[in-house]
């Protein structure tokens, strides 16, 4: 369970940094909307990283705490590019879909271990991400 949760810490940390990158570097007519939306999502993700890490501590594990270990354990890719706004949204949608799959896998493991606090935590995070997913898809048209 701790290993799965640390995988999520790694994924969410990389995702957080990508959203900060998009918030800083988005350009064009959609600037105001996307600049704000990326900030809204990374603010939530920052809180979620904290909650997952503290759950790991609650389970008597050690959360990942170096960027090197985050990169070794993430299923996401960093984004060194400067894509346009629409492409930033497309990459965010793809990342949310990947995070969602990894969350569902961890939720299933927590259910099998009868670990209710972890199930509840991850369910809430999953629901929050799904809300962003449909809104970003609606933006794409
Ligand atoms: Fe800002």
Domain layout of the chain by residue ranges:
2-140
Fold designation for 2-140: Ferritin (1.20.1260)
pLDDT tens by residue, 9-51:
999 999 999 999 999 999 999 999 999 999 999 999 999 999 9
Distance CA 136, CA 92 (A): 8
Calpha distance 50→56 (Å, rounded):
10
Q: Structure pTM? A: 0.97
2-25 and 85-112 helices, crossing angle to 10°: 170
**Alpha carbon of 36 to ligand 1 centroid (Å):** 8
Residue 87's SS3 state is helix
Mean pLDDT on 67-80? 97
Copy the structure tokens of residue 49: 């990283």
Instruction: Tell how far the Cα of 66 is from the centroid of ligand 1, in angstroms.
Output: 24
Distance in Å, CA 39 to ligand 1 centroid: 7
Between CA 71 and CA 14 the distance in angstroms is: 8
Percent of the chain with pLDDT over 70: 100
What separation, in Å, do the N-terminal and C-terminal C-alpha atoms of the chain show? Answer: 38
Do 93 and 137 touch, CB atoms closer than 8 A? yes
Q: In which band, very low, low, confident or very high, does the pLDDT at 63 lie, cut at 50, 70 and 90?
A: very high
């Amino acid at each position: 369970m701790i290993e799965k949760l640390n995988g999520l810490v790694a994924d969410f940390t990389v995702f957080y940094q990508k959203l900060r990158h998009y918030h800083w570097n988005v350009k064009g007519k959609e600037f105001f909307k996307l600049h704000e939306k990326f900030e809204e999502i990374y603010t939530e993700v920052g809180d979620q990283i904290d909650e997952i890490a503290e759950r790991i501590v609650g389970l008597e594990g050690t959360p990942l705490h170096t960027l090197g270990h985050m990169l070794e354990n993430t299923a996401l890719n960093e984004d060194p590019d400067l894509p346009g706004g629409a492409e930033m949204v497309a990459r965010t949608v793809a990342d949310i879909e990947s995070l969602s799959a990894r969350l569902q896998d961890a939720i299933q493991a927590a259910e099998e271990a009868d670990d209710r606090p972890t199930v509840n935590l991850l369910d809430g995070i999953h629901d929050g991400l799904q809300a962003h997913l449909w809104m970003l898809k609606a933006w794409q048209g």
